[in-house]
Amino acid sequence: MPQELTIVRPDDWHLHVRDGAALRAVVPHSARQFGRAIVMPNLRPPVVTVEQALAYRDRVLAAVPEGVAFEPLMTLYLTDTTPPAEMRRAREAGIVAIKLYPAGATTHSDAGVTDLRQVAATLAAAEKEGIVLLVHGEVTDPAVDVFDREAIFIERHLLQLRRDFPALKIVLEHVTTKEGAQYVAEAGPATAATITAHHLLYNRNALFSGGLRPHYYCLPVLKREEHRRALVAAATSGSDRFFLGTDSAPHPAALKEHASGCAGCYTAFSALELYAEAFEAAGALDRLEHFASRAGPKFYGLAPNATTVTLKKLAWTLPDALPFGDAELKPLRAGETLAWRLAA
Ligand code: DOR
Ligand code: ZN
């Protein structure tokens, strides 16, 4: 077993960094791990215009520690009323993607899309301008079982979306099911998926082991073991269309350890260590670089980062909590030991 692994510096193709003091607390963690990150626009209020995205970008950059190279790649939050013309302005401003949240699907998604027919002209403009569509792929129909919402979203919406806009680049984000992985594997070059570290490492038992475990609660929720295995197979397959996206989503610890706990796992602090653990368990450490550092840039038409990072097999203990403005932030596996460590 290798004790050290040096790979091209990875990127995070799905990240939440919030705003204000929370942003200043978490951005340094991602900047230490990654060269670039796709920054989610689900602030309150959401980032819906190019001007808002550029101002947000400046706030992210201001939180990057001196001497660290980290490039935030910005996204717009798609609403029922996003004007098609915003797609051209987005491309001209270097904004890479728009995010589709079905209204009500997850944290801060109430401004999301209520009906895909409302946004057809905007999606056509995105297709024309080369703006990538990032999809939170879950139906919001309360009659659908929470664990089935991704598979049903593919049937009810993604198949049609794919047919309607054949050249639109679509990322099925944080894919969590064997149905999702299979769909993406067969969908052709314009369709990709990101996979989180927590969905590679855990199945839904983690939510209930020894008591209710709120820090393992995210959306889409962890699924059965057969799904986790399908995700590991996809991530380690060497495919160009599955790549790293942490979906690291920080919430104050008190709002996760709550009667109505927020969805989101905070993994950015030790993201590469967690992915290395998952790839090592699959006997596929040699595939980590492709998944973490090469497939994503290829899909987005960018060059891989020019620098490298080194992971060492060196046990260390995660802090119990991290500062988060006035609150506390509990990283996934807080207080527990990780086998891999990112070298300084
Ligand atoms: O668990 C999640 N947390 N899923 C999402 O889709 C949103 C995210 C957040 O922003 O907290
Ligand atoms: Zn997310």
User: pLDDT tens across 274-295, in order?
Assistant: 999 999 999 999 999 999 999 9
Per-residue DSSP letter, 183: H
Decide: 16 in ligand 1 pocket, CB within 6 A.
Answer: yes
Q: What are the φ and ψ backbone dihedral angles of 260, each rounded to 5 degrees?
A: -130, 75
User: 6 alpha carbon to ligand 1 midpoint, in Å?
Assistant: 30
In contact, 266 and 248? CB cutoff 8 Å: yes
100: left (phi over 0), alpha (psi -120 to 50) or beta: beta
Distance CA 214, CA 204 (A): 12
Ligand 1: residue of 15, 39, 107 to mutate (most ligand atoms within 8 A of CB) is 107
pLDDT of residue 58 exceeding 80: yes
pLDDT of residue 133 exceeding 90: yes
Distance CA 178, CA 175 (A): 9
In contact, 34 and 304? CB cutoff 8 Å: no
Ligand 1: residue of 140, 218, 330 to mutate (most ligand atoms within 8 A of CB) is 218
pLDDT of residue 188 exceeding 90: yes
Give the β-pairing of 12-15 and 322-324.
unpaired
Q: What is the pLDDT of residue 122?
A: 98
| pLDDT band at residue 106 using 50, 70 and 90 as cut-offs | confident
Per-residue DSSP letter, 216: G
For residue 122, what are its two tokens? 């905007």
Distance CA 162, CA 340 (A): 39
Distance CA 135, CA 137 (A): 5
| Cis preceding-peptide flag for 220 (omega within 30 of 0) | yes
Closest ligand to residue 251's CA: 1
Q: How far is CA 308 from the centre of its chain?
A: 21
Tally the residues of the chain: 344
In contact, 203 and 178? CB cutoff 8 Å: no
pTM tops 0.85, yes or no: yes
Distance CA 317, CA 331 (A): 12
Closest ligand to residue 264's CA: 1
117-124: long-range pairs with CB below 8 Å, 24+: 118/80, 118/81, 119/78, 119/80, 119/82, 120/164, 121/84, 122/78, 122/82, 122/83, 122/84, 122/86, 122/87, 122/98, 123/161, 123/164, 123/165, 123/168, 124/84, 124/165
Distance CA 82, CA 272 (A): 35
Q: Which residues share a beta bridge with 43?
A: none
Which single residue is written with the structure tokens 């990283």?
331
| pLDDT band at residue 105 using 50, 70 and 90 as cut-offs | confident
* Four-residue CA torsion sign, 167, 175, 173, 70: negative
Q: What are the φ and ψ backbone dihedral angles of 97, each rounded to 5 degrees?
A: -155, 160
- What's domain 11-302's architecture? Alpha-Beta Barrel (3.20)
Q: What is the pLDDT of residue 108?
A: 82
User: 106 alpha carbon to ligand 1 midpoint, in Å?
Assistant: 6
Q: How confident is the model over 133-154, as a mean pLDDT?
A: 97
Of all residues in the chain, the percent with pLDDT exceeding 70 is 100
User: 15 alpha carbon to ligand 2 midpoint, in Å?
Assistant: 6
pLDDT of residue 107 exceeding 80: no
Per-residue DSSP letter, 270: G
